[in-house]
Amino acid sequence: MKRLPGKVRRTLRAKYQDIPPRAWIGKKGFDEGAIGEIMTQLKKDGVVKVEIRKGALISTEMDRKAIAEKVAELTDSELLDVRGKRFILFRPREGWEKYLNRLKLKELSVEKREEKPVEKVRLDIVRFRKKFKKGRD
């Protein structure tokens, strides 16, 4: 289930691309230990990079993308990126409702701040010259 707009997803993907993997999916697949560790990391940091080991691909008989989507579903998180054998999961620490409301408010404030064209002021050159000529006399 995709909750984040593409722009936010791209920003988060770029921001967390270089973090090291903190959890691994091994030959036991989606066991309680692996899912529990991912949940702990998501609660702590809000984002986690997970690495899929060779054994997981063999034991689950799923491809990397399918494994990543399944883990995202089990942990109630958003799948940001799948690259090779690693994928990034994101779940806001304050909860999805608060996070999505904050995003909407931010979007609305950007719309309100749209620049309005500046009105051109006509400059009366004759009056302008007279004013500054007085000061020089």
The model's pLDDT over 5-20, given as tens digits with 9 standing for 90+, comes to 888 899 999 999 999 9
**What crossing angle do the helices spanning 64-75 and 32-45 adopt, rounded to 10°?**
70
Whether 50 is covered by a domain: the verdict is yes
79 phi and psi, to 5 degrees?
A: -80, 115
Q: Which domain holds residue 40?
A: 6-90
Whether 21 is covered by a domain: the verdict is yes
Specify the number of domains making up the chain. 1
C-alpha Rg value of the chain to the nearest Å: 27
Whether 18 is covered by a domain: the verdict is yes
Whether 110 is covered by a domain: the verdict is no
Assess whether pLDDT exceeds 80 at residue 126.
no
Kindly report the pTM of this predicted structure: 0.74
Reduced to 3 states, what is the DSSP secondary structure of residue 39? helix
Whether 117 is covered by a domain: the verdict is no
Residue ranges of E strands in the chain: 23-25, 47-52, 78-83, 86-90
Q: What's the pLDDT at 29?
A: 86
Q: Which of 66, 111, 97, 71 is nearest to 3 (CA)?
A: 97
Whether 22 is covered by a domain: the verdict is yes
CATH code of the domain containing 23: 3.30.110.60
86-90/78-83 β-pairing: antiparallel
Query: Which tokens hold the place of 51?
Result: 């690495």
Whether 108 is covered by a domain: the verdict is no
Instruction: List, for residues 75-94, the tens digit of each pLDDT value.
Output: 999 999 999 999 999 999 88
Whether 111 is covered by a domain: the verdict is no
